[in-house]
Amino acid sequence: MSITSLRAGIIGTGFIAPVHIEALRRLGVQVTAVCGSTANAQATADKWGIPEIYGNYDYRAMYASPNVDVVHITSPNKLHVEQALAALAAGKHVVCEKPLGMNAKETARVVKAAAKAKTVLAVNYNCRFFPAILQMRAAVQRGDLGRIIHVQGHFFQDWLLKDTDYNWRVLASEGGKLRAVGDIGTHWIDAVSFILGAQVESVFAKLETFHKRRKRPRGEVKTFAKVDPKTMVSYPVDTEDFASVLLRYDNGVHANAAISQVAAGWKCSLALGIYGSEASMRWDLQQPNEIYVGRRDEPNQILQRGTPGFLEDVAHFTDYPGGHPEGFPDSHKMHYRAIYEHIASGRKTPLLFATAPDGHHEVKICEAVLKSAAVGKWVTVS
C-alpha cells in the first residue's frame, strides 16, 4: 500500500493543526476531514480544500466517516486520552499530540488499548525527526561518541514571560500540573531518551513559578495569539514557569536540563549536548541543520544536514540537499512519513516514532518530577 492512499482526519484547528495538514499534503497523504468549532472547522476546510467538515467539536461523527483512516488529535491536553481511546475503538490509526494525557493513570489506559488495537498509535514527539536528532542517535548507536558521560541542555522560550501572556497551558486543569516541563521539557527528555536509546530511571527537580498571579482574557485563545491586556482578569498560577531537572538514565548517564518559558530572547530553543568519551554533539532546534561535533585531539566539526556523513544515516528523513535549510515544518513531515509508512507497510518499517508506552513513560517522568520538587530528593520513575 502507498501512503497516498491513506486519508487523514484532523481534530483541532489551532496553532499546531495546520502544521499537521501541511506536512501531510507534502507527503501526498489526503486530508479528508477536519473537526473543531463549527466556524473554525469551516475556515480550515476552506483554506486547504478539505472535503469533510465536523463542527461542534464532534469528533465521534468524524470517526464514523469511512473516508478517514488516521486521526490526528491536536486538541488541548485534557482531551487527548478520551479522543484517542475512542479513535482506537473506532478502528482508526491515531497520531496524538503530546503529552499523551494528563496523568499516568489515564495514559495507562491508552497503553492497554493500543496494545490490543490492530491500528497504530503514535505520539507527536516530532523532534525525533529532525534529521540532526536521527543523526545523533545513529552516531551514539554506532559508538562515534564513545561511552556517553553526560548530557546537558535546555528548552527555553519566552512567550509566557509577561504576566499578561496567557494560554490554556498555564492552567493545571487544562494542560496538566506540570507546565514548562510538561509542555516543552518532555520534548527535551523524549529527544534525549531517543538519542541515547535509554530510559529515565530517576529524577531530581526544582520547579519555580515567577509570576504567582497572571492576567488572562475571557474565552478561548489560540496559541501564540495576541490579546489586549485591558480586557483581562487576574488569577493565581498553579503551574511552574521554569525548572531545573536532573535525570539519571538506566544506562548510568546523567543529564541536566534547564526548562523555562520565561527566558527572554529565546523563542523556541531546544538545545542539547551529548558528551561522550570520544566526542560530543551539540544541537539547537533554532539552527536545526547543523550539529556541532566537539573533539579533544582533533578539530571540532560542523556536521551539516544533507552533506556527506549526515546523509547515509538519515537519507530517508531529509529531502533537501546541503545548504538548502529545512526547518520545523519539515520535522513534522518526516515524522508523519515514518508513521504513515509504518501503517502502509503493515508495521514492517522500524519503529522510530513515539508509541503509547513512550508517551506514558513521559507522563510518569512528569509525575516523578512533581514529587521530587515537593520532597527535595531524587525520585525513582516507577
Ligand X SMILES: NC(=O)C1=CN([C@@H]2O[C@H](COP(=O)(O)OP(=O)(O)OC[C@H]3O[C@@H](n4cnc5c(N)ncnc54)[C@H](O)[C@@H]3O)[C@@H](O)[C@H]2O)C=CC1
| Chain residues that interact with ligand X, rule: CB under 6 A | 11-16, 36-37, 40, 57, 59, 74-77, 79, 97-98, 124, 126, 168, 183, 222-223
Q: Which is nearer to its own copies, 3 or 84 (CB)?
A: 3
Determine the residue with CB nearest ligand X: 14
Task: Work out how close the CB of 375 gets to ligand X at its nearest, in angstroms, rounded to a whole number.
Answer: 27
The item of ligand X, its own copies, none sharing an interface with residue 288, based on CB under 5 to 8 Å by kind, is its own copies
Report how far residue 94's alpha carbon sits from residue 73's, in angstroms, rounded to the nearest whole number. Answer: 7
The item of its own copies, ligand X, none sharing an interface with residue 56, based on CB under 5 to 8 Å by kind, is none
Buried b (16+ CB within 10 A) or exposed e, 114-128: beebebbbbbbbbbb
17: which residues sit within 8 A by CB, 6+ positions away?
Answer: 10, 34, 36, 44, 72, 74
167: which residues sit within 8 A by CB, 6+ positions away?
Answer: 159, 160, 221, 223
The item of ligand X, its own copies, none sharing an interface with residue 36, based on CB under 5 to 8 Å by kind, is ligand X
The item of its own copies, ligand X, none sharing an interface with residue 296, based on CB under 5 to 8 Å by kind, is its own copies
Q: Strands of 57-196 (E only): list them.
A: 70-73, 93-96, 121-123, 148-156
230-233-234-235 Cα dihedral, nearest 10 degrees = -150
From 286, 282, 329, 288, select the one nearest 305 (Cα to Cα). Answer: 288
Q: Which is nearer to ligand X, 131 or 276 (CB)?
A: 131
Task: Work out how close the CB of 230 gets to ligand X at its nearest, in angstroms, rounded to a whole number.
Answer: 22
Q: Which is nearer to its own copies, 24 or 95 (CB)?
A: 24
The item of ligand X, its own copies, none sharing an interface with residue 349, based on CB under 5 to 8 Å by kind, is none
The item of ligand X, its own copies, none sharing an interface with residue 75, based on CB under 5 to 8 Å by kind, is ligand X
Task: Work out how close the CB of 213 gets to its own copies at its nearest, in angstroms, rounded to a whole number.
Answer: 14
Task: Tally Cβ neighbours within 10 Å of residue 229.
Answer: 13
Task: Work out how close the CB of 126 gets to ligand X at its nearest, in angstroms, rounded to a whole number.
Answer: 5
CB 41 within 8 A of CB 102: no
Task: Work out how close the CB of 300 gets to its own copies at its nearest, in angstroms, rounded to a whole number.
Answer: 4
Task: Work out how close the CB of 20 gets to its own copies at its nearest, in angstroms, rounded to a whole number.
Answer: 12
Q: Report the relative pairing of strands 30-35 and 52-54 from DSSP bridges.
A: parallel
299: which residues sit within 8 A by CB, 6+ positions away?
Answer: none
Q: Which is nearer to ligand X, 76 or 131 (CB)?
A: 76
